[in-house]
Amino acid sequence: MLNFAQRYRTVHIVCIQWKRCLSRTTFKMGRSVKTIYALSSGQGPAGLAVIRASGPRCSDVLKEVTKQSHLPRPRMAVNRDIFSPLSGELLDKSIVLWFPGPNSFTGDDVCEFHVHGGLAVIQAVLRALGNCEDLYQAEPGEFTKRAFINGKLDLTEVEGLGDLVAAETETQRQQALRQMSGELGSLYGRWRNELVKVVAHVEAFIDFSEDENIEGSIVDQAMESLKKLENSIRVHLKDNRRGERLRNGVQIAIIGEPNAGKSSLLNILCKRPAAIVTPIAGTTRDVVESAVNIGGYPVLFSDTAGIRETNDLVEIEGVKRATERAQTSDMVVTVVDASTLQPVIKNSSEIDDLVTALLRTLGTLQRTMDKAGSITDEIADNDTTSQQSMVLFNKVDLLAERERKILKEVMNSLTKDQGFYICGFSCKTLEGLDTFLEMLKGTVSKLCGDPLSGNPSLTQERHRMHLELCLAAMSKVKLDNDLVIDAEHLREALRHLGRITGHVRVEEVLDVIFKDFCIGK
């Protein structure tokens, strides 16, 4: 029996299943009743604008507005004049594309009008379509929703498409494109198929083990695959949230004592006066955010209030916010005013003493922060493990040559012994900017990973949540339970996995049962 089960569990089974799946979807395809249309390209005057329509009335509408009795060849661009269906007036000369369902983006019949991108042209063509019978303006996202409902995209692909459209940096684009092409979806799909199989074998044992000759070993095998799957998911989850980071932007908090030059640094990084800079200590009270593209990676810098003990109510709140931000960020850049080190350097020539002094300064900063922000233990627990830290000595231009040399040694020692990312810098002369950016890029790319290599990363909290719930359900499976209760946990796990891609179907389980086992009377 065991041999038999192994022998017949072939790739073909999977292929047949998919075929079944596909044939089902095709059956449902093109079922939308309403025909919708919308401007699919951006607003505003441009060379071209694309207007798209989807639904059963597309072919009629296409003929109507082009005053043609026949449709263009599918997926072939043709030149067509567009007329108002009411007045018959010529509206524009355009390129028209006809995609009969199900081989279209939405799975319905789709047509596209590539018209000239003038505001009046767009208005006129949209009005013309609006005047056609049974044609409705699409809601935002409605085309994609149809594609999902018609089985053209799974949920991760839909999300990938959304991310691709919203991508601002090169690496975000790479990640989104991978996801939209279905790589993440197929990874989850693969796991899902494995879990479907586990569930199916357990279910088969429940429903058929007594009538038919299905042996208990099938359950043991299922449990083995379950353990393997559990492990894969665990590894996938231990990615330090790089996919989500890349999607949402790496959060970097700039912290330090008042007047260390944090706001100036922010302004330099984002190349505009985002934060107010004055010589007065404590100018920045609130958190000032700015998004910057660092070597293709999206980074969100937060400039924060200078950290010190104070009685000013507003400033106390500012310090509290700064602390919170530092704790929730993926990375912290601590800005230190190098000129404050001058007295220390003067008094001691021992590098070690300097290092100690420096660490003491940083330590004081940390203590002040701890005092200010006592609320966020939970967040701190979560992220400190992966949180990166970097120290920036600002105002190095104020140092004498000798002092600089000593500082450099201190920095080298810290880098070597403590693994600090540390760098000298001047907001005034921009000295050290390149080194700083290089270092930033290095850390950021480490945080986000290379979106092109390895397994695709999970990009949304939603994926993480369902995977974690899936794992939790799997871990409840203990063979000394009533098998039916175990099956219940497995079903729950499967439901969570299915929700990521949007496939939840019982029938598949039965498909596997009947493909893998000889059940009959």
Partner 1 sequence: MAARLGLPAHLSLLRGKLTGKTPNLRYLSGNASEVDSNFYDVIVVGGGHAGCEAAAASARLGRKTLLLTHKIETIVGSMKFITSCREMSCNPSFGGIGKGHLVREVDALDGVCGRICDKSGIHFKVLNKKKGPAVWGLRAQIDRDLYRRYMQQEILNTECLTVEASPVDDLILDDVTPEHGDDMVCKKICAGVVLENGRCVKASSVVITTGTFLRGCIHLGLDIRPAGRLGDAPAMGLAKTLEEAGFTVGRLKTGTPPRIDGTTINYKQLESHFGDDTPVPFSFMNKKVSIKPEEQVSCHLTNSSTKVGEIILQNKHLNHHIREEVTGPRYCPSIESKVMRFGNRPHQIWLEPEGLNTNIVYMQGFSITLPPELQEECIHNVRGLEEATMTRPGYGVEYDFMDPRQIKPSLETKRIKGLFFAGQINGTTGYEEAAAQGIIAGINAGLMAHGEPPFIVNRTEGYIGVLIDDLTTQGTTEPYRMFTSRTEFRISLRPDNADLRLTEKGYKAGCVTEERYKKTKDMEYKLSENIELLKAYKMSRAQWSNILRECKAEISLAKTGSKLSAFDVLQSSYFQVSCLSEVPGNPFQGIVSDDVLAGRIKIEGGDGR
Q: Where on the chain is the footprint of partner 1 (CB under 8 A)?
A: 4, 7-8, 203, 206-213, 482-485, 487-488, 491, 506-507, 509-510, 513-514, 518-521
CB of 484 to partner 1, least distance (A): 4
Judged by beta carbon, residue 210 or residue 434, the one nearer partner 1 is: 210
Q: What three-state secondary structure class fits 504? A: coil
Query: Whole-angstrom Cα distance, residue 464 to residue 451?
Result: 17
Q: Please identify, using beta-carbon distances, which residue of 205 and 436 lies nearer to partner 1.
A: 205
Q: Least Å distance between CB 199 and partner 1?
A: 8
Task: Tally the C-alpha atoms within 13 A of residue 409's C-alpha that lie toward its C-beta.
Answer: 12
Residue 74: CB atoms within 10 Å = 12
78-83 β-sheet, strand order: 78-83, 90-99, 110-117, 46-54, 35-39, 135-137
Beta carbon of residue 204, minimum distance to partner 1 (angstroms, whole number): 8
Considering the complex, state which of residue 400 and residue 484 has its C-beta at the smaller distance from partner 1.
Answer: 484
Residue placing its CB nearer to partner 1 in the complex, 112 or 486: 486
- Tokens 């007329």 found at: 83
* Cβ atoms of residues 451 and 174 within 8 Å: yes
CB contact at 8 A, 422 and 408: no
Judged by beta carbon, residue 351 or residue 519, the one nearer partner 1 is 519
Interior angle at CA 69, CA 65 and CA 72, nearest 5: 80
Residue 287 CB, nearest distance to partner 1 (Å)?
47
Question: Min. distance of Cβ 483 from partner 1 in angstroms?
Answer: 5
Distance between CA atoms of 170 and 207, rounded to whole angstroms?
A: 52
* Smallest separation, CB 9 to partner 1 (Å): 12
* Smallest distance from partner 1 to CB 7, Å: 8
- Residue number with CB closer to partner 1 (239 or 492): 492
Neighbours of 20 (CB within 10 A): 14
For Cα atoms 24, 29, 31, give the angle at the middle one, nearest 5 degrees: 125
HEC states along 235-298? HHHCCCCHHHHHHHCEEEEEEECCCCCHHHHHHHHHCCCCCCCCCCCCCCCCCEEEEEEECCEE
Our CB check for partner 1 shows the closer of 303 and 516 to be 516
The one-letter code for the residue type at 60 is: D
CA 284 to chain centre: 31
The least CB distance from residue 507 to partner 1, in Å, is 7
How far is the CA of 282 from the CAs of 304, 336, 368, 425, in angstroms? 10, 15, 15, 21
Q: Which residues contact 319 (CB under 8 A, 6 or more apart)?
A: 305, 306, 307, 308, 310, 368, 369, 372
Return the SS3 of 175: helix
- Residue 171 Cα distances to 33, 162, 243, 248, 505, angstroms: 39, 15, 10, 12, 35
State which residue, 8 or 18, has the beta carbon closest to partner 1: 8
Nearer to partner 1, 210 or 401 (CB): 210
In the bound complex, what is the minimum distance in angstroms from residue 22's beta carbon to partner 1? 14
CB of 43 to partner 1, least distance (A): 40
Type of residue numbered 340: T
| Minimum CB distance to partner 1 smaller for 9 or for 446 | 9
Q: Which is nearer to partner 1, 434 or 507 (CB)?
A: 507
Rounded Cα gap, residues 243 and 371, in angstroms? 33
CB of 229 to partner 1, least distance (A): 20
